[in-house]
Amino acid sequence: MKIIDPKVYHKMPEGILEGDEVKHYKKYLKDVKNLYKYEDEELNDSGTIMYEVHSYGKGDEDKKGNLFWGLTVMNPVYIKDECNMTRGHFHEDLNCAEFYFGLQGEGLLLLMNKDGEMWAEKISKGSLHHIDGELAHRIINTGNEVLKVGACWPTVSGHDYKSIEDKEFPYRVFNNNGEIQLVAR
């Protein structure tokens, strides 16, 4: 019998997901500027990284039962007091649930059903969030430090961003001098 070293490390909570097989992408302000209420010259900034996603999966992604392990790293960026947010999505396969877990920072997990009803759960270090497969979900960084949120989801779940573009979350999240405000669209 031989003993081998792991191929991937998740250095929690301070580090990121690292390894040769880890997928990584960045969303810049210019990529997500349509999410924010206010548009001005600041939104044309091409260098501001809003968030990064790292993910790892093994085996056939089309095989039911296989999982992705991921990490979202959100910077503390505000657009006229509106908090940094991910695009948000439903799963293409509504039978696929997901877990999120807070590793660092403070934020909100916005959840929305197909009828447009929305609620939020606070994200903080150690928080665990079960996301039913039929719910849209979006992460919001409400603090002044990096927000890191881990995730585990089925490889067959898929991501439906189009439904959110067509029927946006009904509330926006602002940080007004440390006070979190949910404002109807």
CA-CA distance, 98 to 153, in Å (whole number)?
5
pLDDT-derived band of residue 1, with 50, 70 and 90 as boundaries? Answer: confident
pLDDT-derived band of residue 40, with 50, 70 and 90 as boundaries? Answer: low
**Residue ranges of the alpha helices (H) in the chain?**
29-32, 162-166
The yes-or-no verdict on residue 42 having pLDDT over 70 is no
pTM > 0.85: yes
| Percentage of residues of the chain with pLDDT beyond 90 | 78
β-pairing verdict for 147-154 and 67-74: antiparallel
Q: How would you label 20-38 residue by residue, b for 16+ Cβ within 10 Å and e otherwise? A: eebeeeebebeebbebbee
Secondary structure element (H or E) that encloses residue 68, with its range: strand 67-74
Closest residue by Cα to residue 135 from 123, 155, 118, 152: 118
pLDDT of the residue at 59: 86
The predicted-structure confidence for 160-178, as pLDDT tens digits, reads as follows 999 999 999 999 999 999 9
Give burial (CB, 10 Å; 0-12/13-18/19+) of 83.
buried
Place of tokens 């890191």: 148
- CA contacts within 13 A on the Cβ side of 170: 10
Q: Please tell me which residue, 13 or 110, carries the higher pLDDT value.
A: 110
The predicted-structure confidence for 143-161, as pLDDT tens digits, reads as follows 999 999 999 999 999 999 9
Residue type, 83: C
Domains of the chain: 9-184 (2.60.120.10)
pLDDT-derived band of residue 43, with 50, 70 and 90 as boundaries? Answer: low
Average confidence (pLDDT) over 103-107: 96
The predicted-structure confidence for 50-95, as pLDDT tens digits, reads as follows 999 999 998 899 999 999 999 999 999 999 999 999 999 999 999 9
Closest residue by Cα to residue 74 from 32, 42, 19: 32
The predicted-structure confidence for 111-134, as pLDDT tens digits, reads as follows 999 999 999 999 999 999 999 999
pLDDT of the residue at 4: 73
Q: What is the largest CA-CA distance in the chain?
A: 62
